């Protein structure tokens, strides 16, 4: 199994190291290629090339994993995965692992996630893919429990290896001591954390996050995650809408 590990939090993220350790422990042929800097919220976006149409790549050594090839890339995760699927970091991957993200990725807002965008990019290029996120509150004061997320992610990877080509799983792990069993989950319309846009003046707007009160939609990833369950959502990438295909055109 040839595996690419990437993320949107950057090459220095402890979540990336945890996921790379999972792949290494399974004995898989693993390469790590991740953004050189924070790239959250980039979806499956592709950064523009330089005038010479080149993207800077720097070899790195991961703590405790000196044998794994690792690269810091001046690009968003979507472009990194696209490059990997065209032999940019050696042989193309059979499986793309994206994460472990610092913060949950739930609801329809996964459209904007660089973590999920990387997984979807792998899928449209023929790889299996898993996006893994560790859910954290906005006012977090304690350090995230990466070992907890790593242990749970490790359980899913053999399953992911057996997925058909092009399949994507979005996995969210609650950062709580007593994690409840994994549940299949629909995407929520809205999650607990939502975007807030404020117009400051005619020349600027401010984009932030707020935690929303109220009941979450039962059975959705947002609700089950809030209850302490690991949530698993199979995602489809870009497809035509068959329901509209037969309509009358002008």
Q: Retrieve residue 42's tokens.
A: 């980039």
What confidence category does residue 239 fall into, taking pLDDT thresholds of 50, 70 and 90?
A: confident
141-196 pLDDT tens trace: 668 889 999 999 999 899 999 999 999 999 999 999 899 999 999 999 876 656 66
Give residue 48's pLDDT.
Answer: 58
Q: What's residue 199's pLDDT?
A: 66
Q: Where do the domains of the chain lie, and which CATH numbers do they carry?
A: 2-238 (3.40.1210.10)
Q: What is the pLDDT at residue 241?
A: 78
Helical ranges in the chain per DSSP H: 14-25, 77-84, 114-124, 146-161, 221-226, 242-245
Question: Residue 210: its pLDDT value, please?
Answer: 54
Place of tokens 């299949």: 184
φ, ψ dihedrals at 39, nearest 5° = -135, 35
13-61 residue pLDDT tens: 999 999 999 999 999 999 999 999 888 878 788 875 556 678 889 999 9
pLDDT tens per residue, range 81-120: 999 999 999 999 999 999 899 999 999 989 989 999 999 9
Axis crossing angle, helix 114-124 with helix 77-84, rounded to the nearest 10: 20
pTM for the structure as a whole = 0.89
Strand ranges across the sheet with 95-102: 57-62, 65-73, 29-35, 2-6, 95-102, 128-135, 168-174, 229-235, 180-184
Higher-pLDDT residue of 210 and 114 is 114
pLDDT-derived band of residue 217, with 50, 70 and 90 as boundaries? confident
């Amino acid at each position: 199994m040839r595996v690419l590990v990437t993320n949107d939090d950057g090459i220095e993220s402890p979540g990336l190291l945890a996921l790379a350790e999972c792949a290494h422990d399974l004995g898989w042929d693993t390469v790590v290629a991740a953004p050189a800097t924070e790239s959250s919220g980039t979806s499956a976006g592709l950064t523009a090339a330089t005038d010479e149409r080149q993207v800077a790549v720097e070899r790195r050594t991961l703590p405790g994993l000196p044998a794994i090839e690792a690269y810091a890339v001046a690009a968003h995760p979507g472009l990194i995965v696209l490059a990997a699927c065209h032999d940019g970091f050696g042989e193309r991957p059979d499986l793309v692992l994206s994460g472990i993200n610092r913060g949950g990725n739930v609801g329809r807002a996964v459209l904007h996630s660089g973590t999920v965008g990387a997984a979807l990019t792998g899928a449209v290029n023929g790889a299996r893919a898993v996006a893994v996120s560790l859910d954290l509150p906005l006012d977090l004061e304690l350090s995230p429990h990466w070992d907890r997320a790593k242990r749970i992610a490790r359980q899913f990877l053999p399953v992911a290896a057996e997925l058909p080509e092009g399949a994507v799983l979005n996995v969210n792990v609650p950062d709580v001591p007593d994690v409840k069993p994994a549940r299949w989950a629909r995407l929520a319309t809205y999650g607990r954390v939502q975007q807030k846009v404020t117009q400051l003046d005619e020349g600027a707007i401010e984009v932030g996050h707020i935690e929303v009160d109220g009941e979450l939609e039962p059975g959705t990833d947002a609700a089950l995650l809030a209850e302490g369950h690991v949530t698993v959502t199979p995602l489809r990438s870009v497809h035509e809408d068959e329901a509209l295909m037969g309509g009358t055109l002008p």
